[in-house]
Amino acid sequence: MSGNADQDAARPARPSRRKLMLYAPLAVAGVGGLGFWAMLRGLGDGSFNPRGVPSALIGKTAPEFSLPGVEGLDLPPLSSPDLLTFDRPIVVNFWASWCVPCIVEHPQLMALHRQGVPVLGINYKDRAPDARNFLTRHGNPFTRLGADFPGRTAIDWGVYGVPESYVLDRRGVIRWRWAGPITPEVMSESIVPLIRSLGRA
Amino acid sequence: MEHAEPGDTDWLVIPELGHFALILAAALAIAQSILPLIGAQRGDARLMGSAPPLALAGLIAVAVAFGALVWSYATNDTTVANVVANSHSAKPMIYKISGTWGNHEGSMVLWVLVLAICAAAVAGFGRDLPSALQARVIAVLGTISLGFLAFILFTSNPFERVWPPPPDGNGLNPLLQDLGLAVHPPLLYAGYVGFSVTFAFAVAALIEGRVDAAWGRWVRPWALGAWSFLTLGIAIGSWWAYYELGWGGYWFWDPVENASLLPWLAGTALLHSAIVVEKREALKIWTVLLALLAFALSLLGTFLVRSGILNSVHSFASDPSRGVFILVLLGIYIAGAFLLFAWRAPAMAPTGVFAPVSREGALVLNNLLLCSITAVVLVGTLYPLFLDLLTGQMISVGPPFFNTATAPLAVPMIAGMAIGPMMPWKRATLWPVLQRLWWAACLALAAFVLTLAFAGWHVLPAFGFACGFWLIGGAAADIADRAGLGRTRLANVLNRARNLPRSAWGAAVAHAGMGVTLLGVAGMGLATEHLASLRAGESTSYAGYEWRLDGVRDVTGPNFTARRATLTLLRDGHVAHVMEPSRRFFPQGRTTTTETSIRTNLVRDLYAVLGEEHEGLAVLRLHVNPLAPWIWLGSFIMALGGALSLSDRRVRVAAPAARRREAEARA
């Protein structure tokens, strides 16, 4: 790039064009700076929030998908029409047996299950024996479980990584998203109140 | 209670002293950024001569402020808001002190301190610099220092008081309570700030409108030093992620990691293009641009991490209003420098001409590839942010993108890393160089084949091993060739090898270090993992060992409680290792951290993580990570190469002295 630039200068090149090239870093920095400024404005008034991960899907119905079940488990598979069959708020949880935070959140999923909230699992890039093992050891909170071995469905949902959970209302509209393990705090401060209010609506 | 009782007031004013020292430093920085610059423009020797003492005075003021802050932390002075927010009397002393820079405000003071040390070093060691250049460099450093001091004083004053003082502090982020992380930020900052000196040299050159070999000679040691520190800093950060996060990985392409990788990549390019300026007086405009870029990326990293616009696993207190301030600073420095660049760069006439196949050509290729990798990492880091801003769509760019996008760029670079150093300057032919590398190529091929034969069908790790051996072999071939191996007697060869310039050794060592790191990375590609949940007394067999869980018990630390598992590793019925992974709970921050247990024999790591416990069953995650320590070992070798090159005679004495003699002869 510049090797050429330096050599060009040795010859009588078109100087005006070369001079314009030298403004390129300034232009790039300027555009970047404006973007950052807009992001900071957005952070201030809440319209831009990379942390809270308000999915683009919030307020929309879940993307279409149809997943097979996990081999060797006596659980029905999961596809998008199933999300509408409950007539009550549901939790969709992406997890994997290789994910340690998933172990952390598992007791909370079990608690939801015991409270009668349908928890639908999507097993992400996992091996069936490992997934079976995991549920045998820690208990099964899932009403239905789909196996997303290639990870396509996770991409359609915009999943950051496992574990990640969504709350859908009875019409299958995504109302809430949480990237990371559901800790007892998240459970008591967000999920339970939300499900209660959605259940009344 | 460690805070002072009313009455013993003799040291109570220390935070105020620190605050005052910061204000004084800011005032000195104003003078430092104006007087020498005017002096250099007018050719006024007295004004230019004010630069070194001002830089020194600035250092003293900042050092006093930093010392005052360390004192407040060490004595756990709970009248200081910053101490309350980040420290606790129960913390071990070393973490009380490292806590000084483990938070936003303190880390900014550390930043300014390192900057002041650099400015004082330019003042002290730069006596042989042309005085106008020195004055301008110190003035630019003063401007940078002023910006950050203003930032500290207006938005993040570490000496703010609280009254009445709470009984004790709120602890530090327990993840940060760790030796690796205590030294990680100072090393990174030394790197970032080192690039501020090359930035200052570049701006001074732009003001002067002149870049020559001497300039290259002055910039290179700073680039080398900054690069070596940054290499160490990144390596220690990655090592920390490896043993503390407990995920078994060492590099996650996390935005915060990328933020430190970006200036490293640009700095690596700068380091190499400065050689061309020094030896051949070519690539001048490009080198100046790289110097600006390396610092711009350092500042960008600071901005991204501090403003909170990045979503990262590395938690850091962030505040958008501070982000605005840093962005304004960034705008002033970077936009100002780029504007100056666009205006003044045409004045710099290149002199060296070279053929595409030559040492210069190889270094240009190195620069192109490194800059492309920088661009890929930058785009991967920023693209999700900008997409979110423009369309509200959230996407995540993860390791798959970075790995697939950087690999095709890294491969030709690795190939060239062995070839380039053996090429002559100006004009070369490729074939003789390749002939001298044939045995490195054989080594690489053998590594590839042997890995496939013994470790199974793992093509990528095998290729990584090949690359690693190619680099190490290439570095050895380079030294052997320079020492004349095969052309003269062995005693002669050894003698010549000893007398090779340190910079040649430095380059070879650094390149070989990169090879060692690649071997480690390739080894990690063969890592295996085993998940077991056991009751006390049960065991699982994995990787040739019988891993027996003896039990899990409660342990109390100074400011945490922990569950600690005792694992006995049996081989053929004999105890081979005892490992104690634990989980710590810090009641202060209500957080849990994992403490992995690692047993290494330098060829492979046994790595155990204690997961959740459930009804008497403990979940254990066990990894075998082949060659993992080599990743960091290689980085240390790289930094060592940088240090070796830095100790070159040419850098130390000859060049400046010769230059001065020349100038005196002319006068």
For residues A109 and A18, state if they share a domain. no
Q: How far B107 CA sits from the closest chain A CA (Å)?
A: 22
Sheet holding B597-600, edge to edge: B528-534, B617-626, B604-614, B597-600
Q: Do B389 and A35 touch (CB under 8 A)?
A: yes
**pLDDT at residue B337 is higher than 90:** yes
What is the rounded distance in angstroms from the CA atom of residue B609 to the CA atom of residue B245?
10
> Are B385 and A50 an interchain contact pair (Cβ–Cβ within 8 Å)?
yes
Are A11 and A99 part of one and the same domain? no
Nearest CB partner across the interface for A160, out of B296, B389, B396: B396
Residue range B580-597: mean pLDDT, rounded: 77
> Per the domain annotation, does B2 fall within a domain?
no
With contact defined as beta carbons under 8 Å apart, do A156 and A187 qualify? no
pLDDT top residue among A21 and B542: B542
CB contacts, 8 Å: A131 with chain B: none
Which chain B residue lies closest to A15 (C-alpha atoms)?
B346
> How near does any CA of chain B get to the CA of A8, in Å?
10
Of all residues in chain B, the one with the smallest CA distance to A55 is: B394
Least CA distance to A103: which residue of chain B? B612
Place of tokens 């050895």: B476
With respect to residue A54, please indicate whether it lies within any of the assigned structural domains.
no
Partner-chain contact A137 B349, CB within 8 Å: no
Q: Check pLDDT > 80 for residue B615.
A: no
The percentage of chain B sitting over the pLDDT mark of 90, rounded to a whole number, equals: 47
Q: Average pLDDT of B81-85?
A: 85
Cβ–Cβ of A53/B394 closer than 8 Å? yes
Within 8 A of B308 by CB-CB distance, chain A residues are 43, 51
pLDDT, residue A12, reads 46
Query: Are A112 and A74 in the same domain?
Result: yes
Q: Which of B60, B159, B57 is nearest to B108 (CA)?
A: B159
Kindly determine whether residue A98 and residue B293, on different chains, have CB atoms separated by under 8 Å. Answer: no
CA B343 – CA A1 distance, rounded (Å): 19
What residues of chain A lie within 8 A of the CB of B284, using their CB? 6
- Domain with A189, as residue range(s), is 66-200
B554-583: average pLDDT: 88
Report residue B174's pLDDT band, with 50, 70 and 90 as the boundaries. Answer: low
Tell me which of A71-75, B111-115, B344-348, B597-601 is least confident.
B344-348
Same domain, B222 and B319: yes
Same domain, A23 and A79: no
Interatomic CA distance for residues B190 and B117, integer angstroms: 10
- Contact status, residue B366 vs residue B420, Cβ threshold 8 Å: yes
Q: How confident is the model at residue B557 (pLDDT cuts 50, 70, 90)?
A: confident
| Nearest CB partner across the interface for B353, out of A10, A37, A103 | A10
- Note the pLDDT tens digit of each residue in B42-76: 999 999 999 999 999 999 999 999 999 999 999 98
Q: Is residue B657 part of a domain?
A: no
Q: Which of A31, A172, A157, A165 is nearest to A102 (CA)?
A: A165
The answer to whether residue B409 scores a pLDDT higher than 50 is yes
The reply to whether A101 and A34 lie within a common domain is no
Asked if residue B163 and residue B32 are part of one domain, the reply reads: yes
Domain closes at, from B135, B154, B172: B172
Residues A10, A87, single domain; the answer is no
State whether A7 and B309 contact (CB < 8 Å).
Answer: no
Strand partners, B189: none
- Whether residue A2 and residue B533 make contact (CB cut-off 8 A), yes or no, is no
Closest CA–CA distance from residue A67 to any residue of chain B (Å): 22
Percent of chain B at pLDDT exceeding 70: 90
How does residue B611 score in pLDDT terms, banded at 50, 70 and 90? confident
Residue B659 lies in a domain: no
From chain A, the residues in CB contact with B393 under 8 A are 56, 158
A84 and A39 housed in the same domain: no
* Domains in chain A, number: 2
Domain range enclosing B468? 402-524+635-639
Size of interface A-B (CB pairs under 8 A): 140
Q: Inter-chain contact B388–A18, Cβ cutoff 8 Å?
A: no
**Residue A53, in any domain of the structure:** no
Query: Are B547 and B607 in a shared domain?
Result: yes
Provide the domain count of chain B. 4
Quick one: which H or E segment has residue B570? strand B561-571
Pair of tokens at residue B289: 């641009």
What pLDDT sits at residue B262?
Answer: 95
Task: Give the highest mean pLDDT range of B23-27, B532-536, B663-667.
Answer: B23-27
Residue of A nearest to B387 (CA): A35
Contact B310 A161 (CB under 8 A): no
Assess whether B211 and B315 both reside in one domain: yes
- Cβ-Cβ contacts under 8 Å, A42 against chain B: 389
Task: Indicate whether B481 belongs to any domain.
Answer: yes
B-chain CB neighbours of A29 within 8 Å are 296, 334-335, 338
A49-63, A175-189, B4-18, B293-307, range with greatest mean pLDDT: B293-307
DSSP 8-state code for residue B161: B
CB contact under 8 A, A3 and B331: no
Q: Are residues A184 and A123 in the same domain?
A: yes
The owner of tokens 């060239």 is: B416
- Mind listing the pLDDT tens digit for each residue in B132-163? 999 999 999 999 999 999 999 998 899 988 88
Give the pLDDT of residue B320.
64
Residue of B nearest to A20 (CA): B342
Residue A132 lies in a domain: yes
Q: What is the pLDDT of residue B666?
A: 52
CA distance A64 to B600: 48
Phi and psi at B312, nearest 5°, equal -140, 155
> Do A151 and A194 reside in the same domain of the chain?
yes
Q: Which range in A180-194, B63-77, B163-177, B292-306 is most confidently predicted, on average pLDDT?
A: B63-77
Cross-chain residue pair A5–B609, CB shorter than 8 Å: no
pLDDT at residue A20, as a whole number? 80
Token pair belonging to A199: 């259940």
Provide the pairing of β-strand A90-95 with A119-124. parallel
Q: Is residue B103 part of a domain?
A: yes
- For the cut 70, the answer to whether the pLDDT of residue B10 exceeds it is no
Please indicate, yes or no, if residue A57 is contained in any of the structural domains. Answer: no
- B358-393 confidence digits (pLDDT tens): 888 999 999 999 999 999 999 988 887 887 777 665
Q: Could you say which residues of chain A have pLDDT below 50?
A: 1-13, 51-52
Domain boundary among B172, B205, B236: B172
Q: What is the pLDDT of residues B453-501, one digit of tens each?
A: 988 888 899 999 999 999 999 999 999 988 888 788 888 888 888 889 9
Tell whether A103 is covered by a domain: yes
Same domain, A74 and A131: yes
Closest-CA residue of chain A to B619: A103
A60 within domain boundaries:
no
Q: Round to whole Å and give the CA distance between A120 and A84.
A: 12
The residue from B395, B412, B434 where one domain ends is: B395
Same domain for A41 and A70, yes or no, is no
Q: Is residue B489 part of a domain?
A: yes
Question: Domain for residue B519, yes or no?
Answer: yes
Q: Across the interface, do A40 and B309 touch by the CB < 8 Å criterion?
A: yes
Specify if B552 maps to a domain: yes
> Are both A176 and A145 inside the same structural domain?
yes
**pLDDT for B423-452, tens place per residue?**
888 888 888 888 889 989 999 999 999 999
| Preferred mutation among B288, B299, B307, B389 to probe A, highest tally of A CBs within 10 A | B389
Do residues B199 and B88 both lie within one domain?
no
> B488: which strand partners?
B485
**Given B285, B395, B612, which is nearest A104 (Cβ)?**
B612
Asked if the bond preceding A63 is cis, omega within 30° of 0, the reply is no
Nearest one of B253, B589, B558 to B400, comparing CA atoms: B253
